[in-house]
Each structure stands twice: as C-alpha cells, then as structure tokens.
Structure 1
Amino acid sequence: MTNIENDTPVEDGQAEDIAPEAAVDAQDETAKLTEQIAALQQDVLYARAETQNVRRRAEKEVADAHAYASTKFARDILSVADNLGRALAALTDEQREDAAIKPLITGLEATERELLGVFERNGITRIAAIGLPLDPNQHQAMLEIPSDKAPGTIVQEMQAGYMMKDRLLRPAMVGVAKKPD
C-alpha cells in the first residue's frame, strides 16, 4: 500500500492511522470554510443594508432640499408681510373713507392678499396663538399680563409666527396670561 500524499510505501497498520487523520483535517477545513462563507454572507448583508440606508438618506435629503430650499427667503419676506399688515392696521376709518387715498388702500389690501396667497401656495402658514395655551415649540412668551384667563393662555400677539410645512420659520411673539395680583 502507498501513502496518497507522497506515494511512499506504507505498512498495513499505518494506513488505518493516516486515513482518519486526513478525514479529520478535511472536516476541519470544511468547517473553517463554512464559517468563512457565513461571515462573508453576513458582511454582504450588512453592506447591502448600509447601501440601502445611504440611498434612503440621500433621497430624503434631496426631498428636503426641494421642500425647504426657500426657507431663508421665506424668513426674509416675513418682515415685508409684517410691515404691510402694520401699514393697513394703522389706517383710521377716516383715512379709509378718504377718496384721495382709497385707491392706495385698495392696492395695499390687494398686495397683502396676493402675498398671503403666495405664502399658502408655498406651504407657509400662520401659527395660531390667541386663546391657546403657550407652546414653546411655536410661541415665544415676551411678557405676562394679569388676566382672568387661565395662566399660560396667550392673550396678546405682538408678532405673528409662521411655519413652512412642518418647520418653524419664526415663533409667534406673545403675551401670556397670569393670575391678577
């Protein structure tokens, strides 16, 4: 009989000892390769999951960029809306009836309506304030006012707040009720 690995003659008693060792070595090698395959499969699964997460994150960032690209411009234009509203609020009833400036007032009101329409089309909404409880995510308390309303209820709005879709553009600056002294 000869040894399979190196073609050397082997006595009958030795052949039985070598065959089981070769089988054990083959089983060990198979087990190691099976472990390596399992580890590589796991690595591939993790890599696929990470790639999918990166793709989803990128898609979300692109969608957010499209949805909120005009945020800075929207914040800047809010002061224009505030000033236009203040100008219209400052007009007295006598001024509104004056035939000489009535066309100017009509133009200002039309401009305000158009501006509010543009806000609406772009997902910019005014934050409700008066009569609601103070929400620190949407309102900024500027002062406390003695009132018969429940403490923490908004009783005055100094400056309107706005949201763009689900993001805060500017908090509403408000006066909050407190117990009278």
Structure 2
Amino acid sequence: MTASHEPVDPRPETDPNAHPKGDAPDFVDAPADAAEDPIALLQAQLDAALAEVAEQKEAVLRARADTENVRRRAQEDVSKAHKFGIESFAESMVPVKDSLEAALAQADQTLDTLREGVEVTLKQVSSAFERNRLTEVQPAQGDKFDPHKHQAISSVPGDQPANTIVQTLQKGYMISDRVLRPALVIVSAGKA
C-alpha cells in the first residue's frame, strides 16, 4: 500500500446520477463546482460553521444582556421596596400625628375631653396597626410559654405547671408571622 499525497474526498463514493440536481445531502450547502473541488467543499463547510458560530455567539450575547437587564430591574425593585415599603404604614400614622397635635393645641381642656381625644387617637393607631398586619402578642395567665413569641424575664414558683405564663409585663408585636417585639412575661417554675 502506498501513500498518496492527493487530497482525499471526504464524501462517500456515490453515483453522480444517484441524486438529481437540487436533491443534495443536507449537510452540504456547497456550490455546484465544489463537487469537483474538495477544497471548495471544505471551505463551504467551514464558512457555514463559522456563520453558525457567529449566530450562536450573538444569541449568547443577547441572552447575557437580557439576564443583566432582569438582574438590574430586580435590584431596582428591591431598592424601591426598601425605600417605600413603609409608605402604607406612614400614611396610616399621619392622621394619628394630626390628632395628637390638635389635642395639644387645645388650651382649655377638661380631663374628660382629653381622655376622649386620647381614646380616639388610640383607635386610629389600632386601625393603622390592623391595616398593616401589625398584631399584638398578649398572652393570658396560664398560657404556655412560647420562646418564639415571648421573652421570660423571670420564673417564680407557683401552683401552675412549669413553663406557663404567670404574668404579662409588656405586650409583644408581630408583623404578619414575624415577631417585631416579644411579649415580656414571668413564667412559672412549677410547684416548689
């Protein structure tokens, strides 16, 4: 077997009459004269591959730009949420401040009118809390101690079972399901 230095045609040997004109194999979009010139065939395949690579590169760059735009928009949304997340609560609290200022502006008040004004203002605060899902945590005596919602200040011996609340010293508050401030409580240490 002797080695030939002639270029080898990568196409399988076929009968030139086997494929009618226009019915060439799919993988080759070569000019008609490439059938006689293997270099032209390879150049045509290379050009097609380079065109596809350029197209894929452009698609990757577009996808990267789209991803960057989504990331940037998400960061802007988070920033706006931090800035304006308290807006609803602030809108609820403005009338409360107005009521307090109006009460202080009254020169001649009786204790009854002052108390009535404070009660109306407290209703405004309670309404603002409710609209913004700010709820009280005020456990009753005998309730089970919950370390997620309560903070024990001390424990005292008593007739109640251990880890039950004896007294609430200060209400706690929650925003939705998150504790804003735990209720301060005294718990029972059980019977001595």
TM-score (norm 2): 0.55
For residues 93-132 of structure 1, the aligned pairs below 5 Å read 104=111, 106=112, 109-110=115-116, 112-123=118-129, 125-130=135-140, 131-132=142-143
Matched residue, 1:99: none
Aligned twin of 1:5: none
The residue type equivalent to 2:138 in the other structure is A
Whether contact under 8 Å (1:119, 1:125) holds in the other structure is no
Distance 2:51 2:61 in 1: 15
Q: Distance in 1 between matches of 2:65 and 2:39?
A: 39
The equivalent residue for 1:175 is 186
Structure 2 equivalent of residue 27 of structure 1:
48
Q: In 1, Cα distance between the equivalents of 2:164 and 2:80?
A: 41
The 8 Å contact of residues 163 and 190 in structure 2, kept in 1 or not, is answered as no
Secondary structure of 2:145 counterpart = coil
**% same residue:** 26
- Cα-Cα RMSD: 3.4
**Cα distance change on mapping 1:58 and 1:170 into 2, 3 Å:** same
- CA shift in 2, pair 1:115/1:177, >3 Å: farther
Query: The residue matched to 1:42 in structure 2 has which SS?
Result: helix
Question: Quick one: distance in 2 between partners of 1:69 and 1:166?
Answer: 21
The CA deviation at 1:46 is 1.0
1:37 paired to 2:43:
no
d(CA) in 2 for partners of 1:117, 1:109: 12
CA distance in 2, matches of 1:47, 1:35: 18
The Cα shift of 1:171 comes to: 2.9
* Unaligned stretches of 5+ residues in structure 2: 1-32, 94-109
Alignment partners' CA distance in 2, 1:170 and 1:118: 21
- 1:1-181 alignment runs, 5 A limit: 16-69=37-90, 104=111, 106=112, 109-110=115-116, 112-123=118-129, 125-130=135-140, 131-163=142-174, 168-181=179-192
Instruction: Give the direction of change, closer, same or farther, for the CA distance of 1:46–1:27 in structure 2 (3 Å limit).
Output: same
Q: Is the 8 A contact 1:145 1:175 kept in 2?
A: yes
Q: Distance in 2 between matches of 1:119 and 1:164?
A: 15
Give the Cα separation in 2 of the matches to 1:26 and 1:149. 88
**Residue-pair matches, total:** 137
Alpha-carbon distance in structure 1 between the residues aligned to 2:156 and 2:114: 33
Give the TM-score normalised by the residue count of structure 1. 0.58
Q: Per-residue CA shift, 1:126-153, capped at 9, x if unaligned?
A: 3221233223343221011223333222
Greater Rg, structure 1 or structure 2? 2
